[in-house]
Amino acid sequence: MNRYRITHLLAWMIAPVLVPAGLLNADDSVVNSKHDLSAYGPGPVRAVSEDEICIFCHTPHNAAPQTPLWNRVNPQTYYRIYESSTTDARIDQPSGPSKMCLSCHDGSMALGNVLSRPATHPIVMTQRTIPPGRTDLANDLSDDHPIGFRYDRALFNSDRQLRAPEVVSFELPLGAHGEVHCTTCHDPHDNELGDFLRVSDRMGAVCVSCHDRDGWRHASHAISKKRTPGRNVDPTERLKYATVADNACLNCHKIHGAPQRERLLRFNREEENCLNCHNGTVATLNIAADIAKSSAHNPDRRTGVHDPDEIPFAMRRHAECVDCHNPHAAQPNPVGRVRGTFGQTVKGPNFNVSGVTITGRQVDSARFLYEICFKCHADGISRPRNVTTRQIFQTNTRLEFRTSNPSFHPVAGPRRNADVVSLIPPLRVGSVITCTDCHNSDSSGASGGAGPNGPHGSVFSPILAYNYENDDFTSESEAAYALCYQCHSRDSILADESFSRHRRHIVDIRTPCGVCHDAHGVGRSAGGGDHTSLINFDLSVVTPADTPGGRRLEYEDTGTLSGSCTLTCHGFTHVGFPYSNSARSKRQVSLPGSSQGAGR
């Protein structure tokens, strides 16, 4: 009986003593695993005639001065190591058990070179070195999960999305000084779970043993039962399990040999990691269709710009999925149309996303949806520029929405304006709305369609949920100003209930709403008269009027539902031209909760 058969016989004789017979599995030892490189091993890489199994790593005699009786020379290679802008660990060159693994898995040393045999007579193998593929890590470890760093209390204290090391080390043993090695996750003698893992990767179990991501327990990617059988997640690999929840971290991350080194994402182009499923093939809603529309937050327009550690005030202009969504915390949003009730707070798809507050302070987790928008549309040096030249020019949306402004749409806080008599229930004086009440997909569920909610893309610019014509001499219709008429009653506007000449301006003269009103708000009131009721004239249509006191362009608020204008528009010059709605004004003065002044 040869030595291979003796080894197998002893393994099977001893195993029943150690484990119940019903749990016995050939893969729970090195025998018949991929690390069985003997001539009788199961893989294509094996010895031509050598029938010993342990000899490829261990020897009782002439071993290297390194436990456990190591039978190989460790590589002297200098490796390119993992680095990331968001890691708090100090990552060093591999050492100890990791070097032992790399003596085969870096592909540089012959598999048959062992210390117990003369260098001139190595074990002859079917392949001299480990063949190219996902197990050949080469000398570039920057595309692999990092090793060679201390997982200790100091690291835990600096990154609170890690578990305490004393909790981790029970199942995933660390090195003598608390280092993470290859052997932390892999047991080279036990392949029962596949890939020699110590903890299963199903449902991300091996990952969450160390990583404690905020919101992950209830996140869509952790619990979704959407099917993924046979789905290619990158050009070289298919998803391992049948559902999104079972694949968990593996849906987006590749632990070894990732094409994108930082954060080990499966695709180089960051957005492809999301759109690979969110194109209607796995996820229910088709985000890819929305971002392909004419007006969109299209991530394809910028590549290699986004960084999770970026500073909103200094970053280059871009839009990536993870600017607005945290894939480790995002949940579905079953809420439909919530305009004017509680729609301003962050919902499931935007949980645990960073933002900028109305006061300009950067926060790790936004509380309100507008805080996420402010990262790009507020103080940033490359924020989008306003296409309308106005009397008071402002491109910082945060400043436009401040509740101390003369007027503002109630996004960051409520307004108390007795002049707004056209609101459609449930909106009322004091209601608060959200950015996505206006900026949303034209086919979104909130807009009455079947598509995803959110400002991914729209056929109406700039990413508007409904049509809004901004060209001068537009014929008034329900469709032309559909955006405004979602909140403001068309019947009320055309009946001149708030402004006695609304119909005259938008129907007879065909002047769009935007010629007089600045939709976000007016950030300051110095010069040019009052700016209540969102009055901030479009200078391409409205120009100063010649008066005895000089050229003037101003609106004066003279009280509830009354005011006057001095300007030239469509060839007509008004100097102190008054208006009022006396009957309506008398009724409005007594409305509870209304006041004059700031916030008109």
> pLDDT, tens digit, for every residue of 183-223?
999 999 999 999 999 999 999 999 999 999 999 999 999 99
Indicate the pLDDT class of residue 527, thresholds 50, 70 and 90. low
How far from 207 is each of 5, 248, 365, CA to CA, in Å?
38, 9, 23
Number of independent structural domains in the chain = 3
Instruction: Please say which residue of 169, 199, 229 terminates a domain.
Output: 199
Q: What is the pLDDT of residue 400?
A: 94
Distances (CA, A) of 84 to 235, 262, 271, 463: 24, 5, 18, 34
Residue 4 or residue 553, greater confidence: 553
Q: What is the pLDDT of residues 95-109, one digit of tens each?
A: 999 999 999 999 999
**Percent over 90 (pLDDT), the chain:** 69
532 shares its domain with 580: yes
pLDDT reported for residue 507: 96
| 59 and 195 share one domain | yes
pLDDT digits (tens, 9 = 90+) for 324-336: 999 999 998 765 5
**Tens digit of pLDDT for each residue in 425-446?**
888 888 899 999 999 999 998 8
In-domain check, residue 354: no
Tell me, yes or no, whether 140 and 91 share the same domain.
yes
Burial 405-430 (b: 16+ CB within 10 A, else e): bbbbbbbbbbbbbbbbbbebeebebe
Q: What is the pLDDT of residue 10?
A: 36
**pLDDT on residue 317:** 87
From 1-5, 140-144, 296-300, 471-475, the region with the lowest mean pLDDT: 1-5
Could you give the CA distance from residue 201 to residue 240 in angstroms, rounded to a whole number? Answer: 9
Number of DSSP helices (H) and strands (E) in the chain, helices first: 16, 14
Give the CA angle between residues 529, 535, 537 to the nearest 5°: 85
In degrees, rounded to 5, the angle at the alpha carbon of residue 13 between the alpha carbons of residues 11 and 19 is 85
Q: Could you tell me if residue 399 is inside a domain?
A: no
Using the 8-state DSSP alphabet, how is residue 149 labeled? S
Q: For residue 550, give the DSSP letter.
A: E
The whole-number pLDDT of residue 29 equals 84
Q: Does residue 68 fall inside a structural domain?
A: yes
Taking the C-alpha atoms of residue 348 and residue 332, their distance in angstroms, rounded to an integer, is: 5
57 in helix, strand or coil?
coil
Residues 165 and 260 in one domain: no
pLDDT value at position 381? Answer: 82
- Mean pLDDT, the chain, rounded, equals 87
- Where among 267, 291, 315 does a domain terminate? 291
Q: For residue 586, is pLDDT > 70? A: no
On the question of pLDDT at 578 being above 60, the answer is yes
Look at residue 430 and tell me if it is in a domain.
yes
Range of the domain at 67: 1-199
Mean pLDDT within 258-264: 89
Lowest mean pLDDT segment, chosen from 12-26, 69-83, 511-525: 12-26
Give a yes or no: residue 311 inside a domain: no
Amino acid at 531: H
Lowest-pLDDT choice from 24-33, 59-68, 448-457, 530-539: 24-33
Confidence of residue 308 (pLDDT cuts 50, 70, 90): confident
Residue 577 resides in a domain:
yes
In a domain, 79, yes or no: yes
pLDDT at position 4 is 41
Looking at beta carbons, which pairs linking 478-482 to residues 24 or more positions away fall under 8 Å? Answer: 481/506, 481/512, 481/513
Over pLDDT 70: what percentage of the chain?
A: 90
Q: What is the pLDDT of residue 426?
A: 86
- Nearest 5°: the CA angle 132, 133, 139 is 65
- Pick from 240, 193, 195: nearest CA to 28: 193
Two structure tokens written together for 188: 């080279």
**Which residue type is seen at 46?**
R
Instruction: Answer yes or no: do 192 and 225 share one domain.
Output: no
pLDDT at position 156, please?
Answer: 95
Residue 16 confidence (pLDDT): 36
Among the residue ranges 14-23, 145-154, 267-276, 317-326, the one predicted with the least confidence is 14-23
Confidence label for 415 from pLDDT (cuts 50, 70 and 90): confident
Residue 29 to residue 41: CA distance in whole angstroms: 13
What pTM, to 2 d.p., does this model score? 0.87
> What pLDDT shows up at residue 335?
57
Are 247 and 155 in the same domain? no
Alpha-carbon distance of 79 to 81, in angstroms, equals 6
Distance spanning both ends of the chain, measured CA to CA: 96
Helices (H), 61-191: 96-105, 153-158, 165-168, 182-185
pLDDT on residue 192 = 94
Both 121 and 258 in one domain: the answer is no
CA 461 to chain CA mean position, Å: 23
Backbone angles phi, psi at 362, to 5 degrees: -80, 135
Three-class secondary structure of residue 342 per DSSP? coil
Query: Does 151 lie in the same domain as 9?
Result: yes
Structure tokens at 383: 């924020």
Q: How confident is the model at residue 1 (pLDDT cuts 50, 70, 90)?
A: very low
- List the structure tokens of 13: 């004789």
Q: 300 in a domain, yes or no?
A: no
Arithmetic mean of pLDDT, 534-554? 93
pLDDT for residue 526? 57
- Quickly list DSSP for 220-276: HHHH---B-TT-EEETTEE-SSSBHHHHGGGGTB-SSS-SBTGGGBSSSSTTHHHHT
List, for residues 378-414, the tens digit of each pLDDT value: 998 877 776 788 999 888 999 999 999 999 999 999 9
DSSP alpha helix (H) spans, 278-396: 287-291, 321-324, 369-377
Say how far apart CA 493 and CA 471 lie, in whole Å. Answer: 19
Whether residue 460 is found in the same domain as residue 524? yes
- Omega before 426 within 30 of 0, i.e. cis: yes
Four-point Cα dihedral 129, 133, 135, 139, nearest 10: 70
What's the rounded Cα separation, in Å, for the pair 92 and 580?
Answer: 75
Please state the φ and ψ torsions of residue 494, each to the nearest 5 degrees: -75, -15
DSSP 370: H
If asked whether residues 165 and 235 sit together in one domain, one would say no
Residue 47 carries which side chain, given as an amino acid letter?
Answer: A
Where residue 11 falls among pLDDT bands split at 50, 70, 90?
Answer: very low
- C-alpha closest to that of 179 among 204, 198, 151: 151
- Pair (429, 536) in one structural domain: yes
pLDDT at 221: 96
pLDDT at 288: 95
d(CA 534, CA 520): 8
Examine the fold and report which residue of 268, 291, 314 is the final residue of a domain before the chain moves on. 291
Q: Are residues 136 and 232 in the same domain?
A: no
